[in-house]
Chain A
Amino acid sequence: MKKNASLIKKAINTIKSKGEVAVIPYICCWDPDLETTEAILWELAEVEPACIELGFPFSDPVADGPTIQKAIVRALEHQPTFEAYFDFISRLNQKGFPHPIVCMTYYNIIYRFGLGNTVEHALKSGLAGFIIPDLPIEEAQPWIKANQNSGLATIFLATPTSSKERIQKIVKHTKGFLYYVSITGITGARDSLPEDLAYRLKTTKNLCGSNLPLAVGFGISKREQIKLLSPYTDAFIIGSAIVKIIEEKGKNSPKEIKTFLKNLKNL
C-alpha cells in the first residue's frame, strides 16, 4: 500500500477501534548508528505504532531539549546525507516494513536538498511525510505548493500560544495528523504536564474535525499521562523517553524500547 497521509489516518483509526492507544514513537536516525536504528524500527513495528517519526539530524535543533540534542550529536558523527536517509527508507520498505514513517527535520535540510527534490525522494522511497518544527504556516507556502499533489503528510504544529484562529489556519494545511505541543517549551520528558492540557486538547480536537487526527507530543513519558489524556486525543508522540533509553543502552536498546512502549500502551 502507498505510504502517505491517509495511511497514517487509517492506522490511527484501526488502533483506536481496537480500543488500544495509538502511539507515535520518535527516534533519531543514526543514533547511535544505522544498524541500531534499523533494529529499533523492527522492534517498534511489533508494538503497532500509528506511525514512526524518524528524525534526520540537524546541527542547530532549536525546538529540542538536551536529550534529543545529544542524540543528534551522536547521529551527526556519522555525517549522514539526506540521500542516505531516503535510501534507508527505501530498503526498509523493500523489506516490507509495515508502518508509515515520517521524517522530522529542520527546514534548512529540506531547503538545501530542494523542496521538489525532497518530495520526489520521499515518494520514491515510500516515506509518508514530514514534520518541520521551524516551518510555521507563515513560511510554508513553497512547501505546501511542492506537496500539492504528493499525498504526503504535511504535519504542522499547534501550541498553547496558538489562538483558535491560528489553529483553524494550521488545520487547513495539515495532512496526516495535527501535532499538538503540550507545553510552551522544548522537547523532553516531564513529570507533570499543564493542568489545562486536557481542555486544550478537547478544543483543538474540535477544530480538527472528524477528518484530521490529533496527536499530542512533548513531555509524554508516563502511563498515567496517557490514561488521563486518552479521551481527548487520537495519538501520543513519545520522543525523549525513548531517546533516553538509547542514550543509556546504545546497541542494546531495541528490546528495551519495545518493552517500555508495551507497558506504556497497556493501560
Chain B
Amino acid sequence: MKVPNRRGYFGKFGGRFVPETLIPLLYDLEKAYLKVKKDPSFWKEWQYLLKEYAGRPTPLYYAQNLSSYFGRKIKIYLKREDLLHTGAHKINNTIGQVLLAKRMGKNRIIAETGAGQHGVATATACALLGLKCVVYMGAKDTERQKLNVFRMKLLGAEVVPVYSGTQTLKDAINEALRDWVTNVSSTLYVIGSVVGPHPYPMVVRDFQSIIGIEIKKQILKKEGRLPDLVLACVGGGSNAMGTFYPFRQDLQVRLIGVEAAGVGLHTDHHSATLAVGEPGVLHGMLTYLLQDKVGQIKGAHSIAPGLDYPGVGPEHAYFKDSGRAEYVSVTDEEALEAFQLLSEKEGIIPALESAHAIAYLIKIAKDLPKDTIVVITLSGRGDKDVSSVREYIEGN
C-alpha cells in the first residue's frame, strides 16, 4: 500500500487538522509538489545545489576504531550528514522546499526552529535563492541558542522570539502557523521535519530520502549487501525517515529510531513520544503526542535541543504500529557518553541529537551477532553543542 493515501494518511496517522484558511493553501502546495515531482528540471536543480553547494553525496564512513572498540566483529558505518553545509541534514529539505516556493511564485518564507539548525538551514537556502526569510523561535530557545540567532541574522533572516506557551519549539510552530494563516498569498511555510499537515510529512520525507538512497548505493558497493541494522535519532523524525524510507521494503534490514529519554522515562522530562505518548492531534497531524489526560500538550525535554518536541512524524507512528521500525530511547547521560566516545575514538564530535543513535548502539553492541553491519546516520555535527556539553560536564 502506498502511503500517504490521498487524504494524507499513513495508516491511521497524519491528515490535515488545520484552520479552514490554510486548507486551500495545502491543496495548492500538494498540487505544486506533485507537479515538480514529475519534473526532471526541478530535481536537476535540487541535485546540482546539493552537490555543488551543500556537499552531497556525503561519505559512508567505516568507523574502524569504534567498531574494534566493541571488541567484536561488527562493522559500523557512519552516514556523514554532519559534513554538509550548515552542519546537519536539514539543508537537504530546506533547499528543496525553498526551490518549490520559488516555483510557486512565493517571495516570503517562514520557518520554525528549536535549536536553530532548521532556522539556519532555511535562512541559508533563502540567502542563496533570494527570498525573504522570517524564523520563529521560542523565546527560551533564543536565549539558549544565541549564536544561532546571530547566524540567522547574518544570513539576512528576521528572527522573531515567541513568548507564548512553553516558549519552545512547539510554540514556534504555532506562531509560524498563525503567520501563515495571516499571510497566505505571499508566504510559504518551510517546515523542518516530517511533521505538520499533509503534504508536509511526505514532502520532507522525499527530500530527506536522499540519505537512505545514498546509503544503499554506498553499502552495496563497500559490502556487497545491505546492512543488518540501521539507526537514526528521532526528534520530529526527518533524518530517521530519510534514512529508513528507502529501506522500507528490505525487510531483512532492522530499522531502529532512537528517541530522547531525557532525565528518564519515569519523569516528565523527556521527549520519547513514540515510547510513552498517546495518539492525538497537534500541528495539523494525528500522531503520538506527549499529553496529559485532558489532552493538553506537555513540554518536552532533551539535552539535545533538536529532539525536544512533544510530537513525532505520522509516518513514524505508522512504522511503529505496523512494526516496520522499532523505537527505543536513551537518556541525556547515555547520549553524553556517546558524544564523548565518538569524539575520542573517531575524532568526530557529533551533534547531541546524533549521539543518541550512537548511544543506543553502545547499549546493544555486545548482543549483536558476529559480522553484523550497522549503519548510523550522523545527522549533524557537534560544534553547536560544545559549550553546553562543557557546562554540563563541569557542572557535574
Interface residues of A (CB under 8 A from B): 58-63, 65-66, 69, 73, 76, 79-82, 106-109, 111-113, 133-136, 138-139, 156-163, 166, 170, 181, 184-186
Q: How long is the Cα–Cα vector from A56 to B24 in the complex, in angstroms?
A: 27
Contact A62 B294 (CB under 8 A): no
Find chain A residues with CB under 8 A from B51 CB.
none
Task: Output the least CB separation between B265 and chain A (Å).
Answer: 21
Interface pair B281/A107, CB less than 8 Å apart: yes
The reply on B20 being an interface residue by CB < 8 A is yes
With A133-B19, A139-B15 given, name 12 new contacts (CB 8 A): A62-B283, A66-B164, A82-B294, A109-B295, A111-B279, A111-B295, A135-B17, A138-B23, A170-B20, A181-B21, A184-B184, A185-B21
Q: Give min CB distance, B99 to chain A, whole Å.
A: 24
* CB–CB B20/A158 < 8 A: yes
Q: Please measure, in the bound complex, the distance between the C-alpha atom of A158 and the C-alpha atom of B20, giving whole angstroms.
A: 7
> Which B residue sits closest to A82, measured CB to CB?
B294
The 8 Å CB contact of B297, one of A59, A81, A160, is: A59
Q: Which of chain A's residues has its CB closest to B184's CB?
A: A184
CB contacts under 8 Å to A, within B169-183, are 170-171, 174, 177-178, 181-183
Q: Tell whether A161 pairs with B24 under 8 Å between CB atoms, given A60-B297, A108-B280, A111-B281.
A: yes
CB neighbours of A81 from chain B (8 A): 293-294
Evaluate contact between B281 and A62: CB separation under 8 angstroms. Answer: no
A83's nearest neighbour on chain B, judged by CB, is: B294
CB distance from A146 to the nearest CB of B (A): 15
Give the interface centre of A135, A159, A181 by most chain B CB atoms within 10 Å.
Answer: A159
* Interface set, chain B 244-296, CB cutoff 8 A to A: 279-284, 286, 289, 291, 293-296
Q: Which one of A58, A160, A181, A186 has the greatest number of beta carbons of chain B within 10 Å?
A: A186
A79 to B293, CA, bound (A): 11
Set B7, B20, B170, B280: member contacting A111, Cβ < 8 A: B280
Nearest CB of B to A30, in Å: 12
Asked whether A181 and B20 contact (CB < 8 A) given A60-B282, A65-B178, A186-B181, the answer is: yes
Q: Is the CB of B20 within 8 A of A162?
A: yes
The majority secondary structure among interface residues of chain B is mixed
Instruction: Among B16, B294, B297, point to the contact of A139 (Cβ < 8 A).
Output: B16
- Cα–Cα distance between A68 and B215 once the two chains are bound (Å): 48
**Do residues A63 and B281 form an inter-chain contact, with CB atoms below 8 A?**
no
Residue of A59, A81, A106, A170 with most partner-chain B CB within 10 A? A59
> Which 5 pairs from chain A and chain B are nearest by CB?
A112-B295, A185-B182, A159-B21, A59-B296, A108-B281
Partner of A163, one of B21, B24, B164, B281: B24
Is B130 at the interface (CB under 8 A from chain A)?
Answer: no
Interface of chain A: mostly helix, strand, loop or mixed = loop
B residues in contact with A112, CB < 8 Å: 280, 291, 293-295
**Closest Cβ neighbor of B8 among chain A residues:** A138
- The one of A73, A76, A80, A156 in contact with B20, judged by C-beta atoms closer than 8 angstroms, is A156
Q: Across the interface, which residues of A come within 8 angstroms of B164, CB to CB?
A: 66, 69, 73
Q: Closest A-chain residue to B164, C-beta based?
A: A69
Q: Does B165 contact A (CB under 8 A)?
A: yes
Q: Determine the chain A residues whose CB is within 8 A of the CB of B182 once the complex forms.
A: 184-186
Distance in angstroms between the alpha carbons of A138 and B291 in the assembled complex: 24
Q: Across the interface, do A136 and B24 meet the contact criterion of CB distance under 8 Å?
A: no
List 12 interface pairs A-B (beta carbons < 8 Å), by A numbering.
Answer: A59-B296, A59-B297, A60-B174, A60-B283, A80-B294, A107-B281, A109-B295, A138-B7, A157-B20, A159-B20, A185-B181, A186-B178
Q: Does B25 contact A (CB under 8 A)?
A: yes
Please tell me if the beta carbons of A113 and B19 are within 8 angstroms of each other in the complex: no
Chain B contacts of A82 at CB under 8 A?
294-295
- Chain A hits for B181, CB < 8 A: 62-63, 184-186
Residues on A with C-beta less than 8 A from B63 are none
B22 and chain A: residue at smallest CB distance:
A161
For residue A97, give the distance in angstroms from its CB to the closest CB of chain B. 24
Task: Select one of A69, A80, A136, A160 contacting B18, CB under 8 A.
Answer: A136
Min distance, Cβ A113 to any Cβ of chain B, angstroms = 7
A79 to B113, CA, bound (A): 28
CB distance from A118 to the nearest CB of B (A): 11
Q: How far is the CA of A139 from the CA of B8 in the complex (A)?
A: 11
Give the complex CA separation of A160 and B184 in angstroms.
10
Residues in B whose Cβ lies below 8 Å from that of A159? 19-21
Complex alpha-carbon distance, A181 and B280, angstroms? 26
Question: Once the chains are docked, how many angstroms separate the CA of A99 from the CA of B171?
Answer: 35
With contact pairs A63-B19, A139-B17 given, residues A108 and B178 touching in the complex (Cβ less than 8 Å): no
Name the CB-closest residue of A to B176: A62
Q: How far is the CA of A20 from the CA of B200 in the complex (A)?
A: 47
The distance in angstroms between the C-alpha atoms of A163 and B23, with both chains bound, is 11
Q: Which of B105-121 touch A at CB < 8 Å? A: none
Q: Which A residues are CB-close (under 8 A) to B174?
A: 60-62
Q: Give min CB distance, A258 to chain B, whole Å.
A: 30
